[in-house]
Every structure is written in C-alpha cells, then in structure tokens.
Amino acid sequence: MIELRGVTKTYPGGQTAVNNLSLDIDRGAITVLVGPSGCGKTTTMRMINRMVEPTSGAVLVDGEDIADRKASDLRRSMGYVMQSSGLMPHRTVLDNIATVPRLNGVPRKDARTRASELLEVVGLAPDLGRRYPAQLSGGQQQRVGVARALAADPPILLMDEPFSAVDPVVRQELQEELLRLQRDMAKTIVFVTHDIDEATILGDKVAVLNIGGVLAQYATPEEILRAPASDFVAGFVGRDRGFRHLSFQEGEGVRIHSIQTIEVDRLGDPDAAVTSPWTLAVDAGGRPQGWVPQNRRSAIRSAGDLVPGGSLYRRGDTLRRALDAALSAPSGLGVAVDDEGRVVGSVRAGEILELIEDARVSRGRANYNTAV
Ligand SMILES: Nc1ncnc2c1ncn2[C@@H]1O[C@H](COP(=O)(O)OP(=O)(O)OP(=O)(O)O)[C@@H](O)[C@H]1O
C-alpha cells in the first residue's frame, strides 16, 4: 500500500502544487488521480517515486517512509509510463524494454528474451522488437512504454497521462488492454489523467483533485458519478453523468423479446416474408447484418441495401449498453446477442428505463437524496 501523509509541495518561486494531501492507495488496484490542468496530479505522482521531494509530509510504501530509501533503487522498483512514451530513440524496441532489467544486472540475453515475451503481453508482433521507436505508431510506442515499465516486474506502476497523445480509438484499445493485463498482474497502479471518462473506466478508486492539489473526493467511480461530493466535482464530472452512471448498473433484468429475422441470402426472394415494421437481417450464423423496414421491402434485395444497425447488447452487459442498443437502433429495437454474436432477441428502451427507475427506488430514498 502507498500512503500519502499530509504531503505538501511548494516549488521554488512559491507555487504550492500540492497542499496537505493525504491518500491511501490500495495495493493491487488502479487508483486514478484526476483533475483540471495544473491541479498537481503529476507532482503528486512524482512524489511517490521521489522524482519530486515533498516540502513537508511523508510518503510511505508498505509502511516504510520512502525518504529513507535510495531514490535510484526506489525508482527501479516502480514502473513509470509517460505521455510521450519516453523511449530512447537510438535503441531498438527490445533494448528499450530491456533497459531496467539490464540496470538490475539481468544478463543481456535473458533480458531480451523477457522483452520479447513482454511485447506479446502488450499485444505487439515480435518483429517490431527490432525497430526503432520512430518506426512505430503512437499507440505502438505507448504499448512499448507499458512493456518497458513492466520489464522488471515492479509491484507498483506509475502512469502519467500514458494514453493522452493517441487518437480516441487507439486510446480505448489501450485502456481495454490495460484492464485485461491488470486482471492477471494485479499491480498497484497510480494513473494520472485529466479525462474523467478515462478515470471512471480504469479506476477502482478515483481521487479528484482541485487546483492546489486539494483532494475534492476520493471514492469509487460509481460513487463519484452518482454522488459528487461538491459542486466542483459535479462540474468536473460534467454532463451526462446520470447516463454514464448506468455503466455501473448490471443489465441482468433486461427483458429480451423475440424478433423477426430474415437471412441475407433470402433478401432477393420476394416470397421471403417480412411481416413486422422492422425485420432484422442475419447471416447464416445468425449474426445481425442490418434492418429491413417493411415499407421499403421491395428495394432491399441484398446486404448492401440494408439499413445499418445500432450498437449491440450482450446478455450481462450494463444498462448503459442496453439503453444505447435500443436508442441507436433505427427500429427502436435494441439487438441482443449471445457471446458468439448471434441474435437472441431485442430489448426496448421503455422497459430499460423502468428498470433504471426501479433500481433508483430500491437504492433507497436517503441514498438518492445525497445524489441529487
Ligand atoms: N518544476 C516546477 N517548478 C515550479 N512550478 C511547477 C513545477 N512543476 C509544476 N509546477 C506548478 O505546479 C502546479 C501543478 O503542476 P502539475 O504538473 O503537478 O499539475 P498537473 O495537474 O499534472 O497538470 P497537467 O494536467 O497540466 O499536467 C502548476 O501550477 C505548475 O505550474
């Protein structure tokens, strides 16, 4: 566990970046520090590996004051991933990943073997290991940055805006990858971001900081969305928080209705019945391909003529996914699929809203009153 005990950092020149911050960071979990630009996130993180020394207060790791540890040893026991991947441009990807193990005395061959394994762990092809960082895309560089931070198998991983320089699609992939890795690794991860969505997706716990490194709220993402502790937090969490909170509500009770389907191969067959206002076209494996509106049946003769579908709801997904499936479907019928992606039926927005309302009521009035 990492404990910040009344930590303050005033930079030379008088800027107080972090003011009397106390925080217990759980072992084996992802703790996200989030807040507006300049609120002291990076300073806080850097006090954990002594890249920045606190002006007062203490940081403890497993009960030991890190001021008593040699800074270079401490840093090697913590992986560090930055926004710009921070890779050394004149070294190959493999050598970059092997850097810290080499510094720790691991023989070159062993360090490179481990580096190759790590490339695979972070989802990169082995042949990329021979390239130089400039020959990789931004997203690939960030993956290498993660591999390098993991190379010495440190119990603690510090990640400072590691995914903010890549486009939203790659960013989502990297977030999913990190969560997948974390399920196996169970590292103690401290993750800095200014993006509240990223914070709520990744964090087991989220610390919202205000300017001056003042802790505004420290709670689970679910709680921060449901019950922001102050106007500042509510404002920072921003719009759609009610909707985003649905990400934390299980969609198990969602009713699945039967749905009329037609195989795409039969679209050209005028005898193939389309009796519902909207019929879902499926491939031979039963996977959804798009919609046939009854009033345009004659114009839809092949897969290319179909009206595109919306998002899909898998059984067990959250209420947010269920509602999104229903709202994004042109038919108003959210398509529900099984784990293999085969259509199992449809879900309806009105029923999902009823479930949301039921859940709200059963959470209890007192609880809800603190949320609004
Ligand atoms: N080396 C430094 N010397 C003086 N002031 C600094 C130094 N580093 C940071 N600061 C100031 O301390 C405050 C907090 O900076 P910090 O980088 O920790 O914030 P942050 O929340 O990580 O910001 P961002 O999201 O913009 O990266 C800012 O006002 C910043 O200008």
73 CA from centroid of ligand 1 (Å): 25
From the list 334, 321, 256, the residue with the least C-alpha distance to 291 is 334
Q: Which of 41, 44, 196 to mutate to test the pocket of ligand 1 (most atoms within 8 A of CB)?
A: 41
Residue 293 pLDDT class (50, 70, 90 cuts): very high
Residue 84 pLDDT class (50, 70, 90 cuts): confident
203 CA from centroid of ligand 1 (Å): 22
- Mean pLDDT computed over 332-348: 94
- Where do the DSSP E strands lie in the chain? 2-10, 16-25, 30-34, 56-61, 64-65, 78-81, 156-160, 188-193, 205-210, 214-219, 261-263, 278-282, 288-293, 312-314, 333-337, 343-348
Contact predicate 93/133, CB 8 Å: yes
- Mean pLDDT computed over 259-271: 91
Residue 368 pLDDT class (50, 70, 90 cuts): very low
Residue 330: is its pLDDT beyond 80?
yes
pLDDT, position 369: 55
168 CA from centroid of ligand 1 (Å): 25
The interface predicted TM-score of the complex, written ipTM, equals 0.96
All structural domains of the chain, each given as residue ranges with its CATH number in brackets, are 2-238 (3.40.50.300), 261-356 (3.10.580.10)
Measured over all CA atoms, what is the biggest interatomic distance in the chain, rounded to whole angstroms? 82
The partner residues of 343 in beta bridges, in order of sequence, read 337
Around ligand 1, the residues with Cβ closer than 6 Å are 11, 13, 15, 17, 35, 37-43, 194
37 CA from centroid of ligand 1 (Å): 8
Here the tokens at position 180 are 């997948």
| Calpha distance 213→7 (Å, rounded) | 10
How many other CB atoms are there within 10 angstroms of residue 48's CB atom?
A: 21
Q: What is the pLDDT of residues 187-204, one digit of tens each?
A: 999 999 999 989 999 999
Q: Percentage of residues in the chain with pLDDT exceeding 90?
A: 58
42 CA from centroid of ligand 1 (Å): 7
Residue 370: is its pLDDT beyond 70?
no
Residue 356, Cα to own-chain centre: how many angstroms? 24
| Calpha distance 284→261 (Å, rounded) | 11
Residue 57: is its pLDDT beyond 90?
yes
Query: Is residue 76 within a helix (H) or strand (E), and if so which, with residue range?
Result: helix 71-76
Q: Percentage of residues in the chain with pLDDT exceeding 70?
A: 97
| Identity of the residue numbered 310 | G
| Calpha distance 213→38 (Å, rounded) | 9
CA-CA distances (angstroms) from residue 188 to 51, 157, 182, 354? 18, 6, 9, 39
| Calpha distance 293→310 (Å, rounded) | 14
Residue 316 pLDDT class (50, 70, 90 cuts): confident
Higher-confidence residue of 34 and 212: namely: 34
Mean pLDDT for the chain overall: 90
| Calpha distance 246→267 (Å, rounded) | 37
- Whose CA is closest to atom 23 on ligand 1? 38
